[in-house]
């Protein structure tokens, strides 16, 4: 039976090829456990970029999954970043950024739509867990944004709860110029920037941003190229 890519990588870490890979990856990414994160937003963003680089190259190391890490996070958590991402099954932040248990505080809703539950979760992570960085991550071929584009063109909203999601994104779609290119993708990017702006202006989050304790950035994940564009 063929060994999966993930298991093959772990097996290779025992040998010379694994040693070379380990030497190329920061110890902070490979460590099974460690002290709470004490860096700032720039350090957190660097770790995310390093992880996505490994993911793009099919060289994920799947850090912080071992026994010691599981015991450690059972006692508490100190995530170094919060990712507000789409609920889409193809864009799990821990995979896209090659991170493990306790590394990321993730909040997911279709189209990164904000409501009281989403905002409460974000504020909790900032106030009580002191995350220094929030990433609002849209992605290519987003169904929620695509539905908002369809509503924009037809003038018809879906019914029920899905209609609520579409309505929240529709304002962004209506204000995004359609220059004849990939309009859905232009709206994906605009929506991520818009949500990041809403978070920066939120009365409970703005003081953290203004004091320099928190940075909020927008991003877009590409389903075909596996990379994250920072907007």
Taking 70 as the pLDDT cut, the residues of the chain under it are 1-36
Domain 5-230 in CATH 3.40.50.720: no
Question: For the whole model, what pTM was predicted?
Answer: 0.86
The stretches of the chain forming alpha helices (DSSP H) are: 5-12, 16-24, 27-30, 41-56, 67-74, 93-96, 116-129, 143-154, 160-174, 183-201, 206-210
**To 5 degrees, how large is the angle CA 216–CA 220–CA 224?**
155
Q: How does pLDDT run across 173-209, given as a tens digit for each residue?
A: 999 999 989 999 999 999 999 999 999 999 999 999 9
pLDDT one-digit tens code per residue, 134-153: 999 999 999 999 999 999 99
List the beta bridge partners of residue 82. 105, 134
In the numeric block, the tokens 């097996």 are attached to: 11
């Amino acid at each position: 039976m063929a060994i999966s890519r993930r298991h093959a990588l772990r097996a290779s870490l025992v040998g010379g090829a694994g040693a070379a890979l380990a030497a190329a990856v920061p110890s902070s990414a490979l460590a099974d456990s460690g002290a709470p994160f004490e860096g700032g937003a720039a350090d957190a963003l660097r770790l995310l970029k390093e992880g996505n680089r490994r993911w793009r190259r099919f060289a994920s190391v799947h850090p912080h999954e071992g026994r010691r890490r599981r015991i450690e996070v059972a006692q508490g958590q100190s995530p170094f970043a919060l990712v507000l991402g789409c609920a889409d099954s193809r864009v799990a932040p821990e995979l896209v950024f090659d991170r493990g248990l306790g590394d990321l505080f993730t909040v997911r809703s279709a189209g990164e739509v904000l409501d009281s539950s989403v905002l409460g979760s974000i504020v909790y992570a900032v106030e009580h867990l002191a995350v220094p960085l929030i990433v609002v991550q849209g992605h290519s071929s987003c169904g929620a944004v695509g539905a908002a584009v369809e509503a924009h063109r037809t003038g018809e909203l879906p019914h029920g709860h899905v209609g609520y999601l579409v309505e929240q994104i529709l304002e962004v779609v209506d204000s995004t110029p359609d220059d004849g290119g990939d309009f859905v993708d232009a709206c994906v990017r605009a929506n991520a920037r818009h949500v990041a702006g809403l978070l920066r202006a939120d009365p409970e989050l703005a003081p953290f941003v203004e004091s320099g304790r928190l940075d909020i950035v927008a991003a877009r994940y590409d389903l075909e190229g596996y990379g994250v564009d920072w907007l």
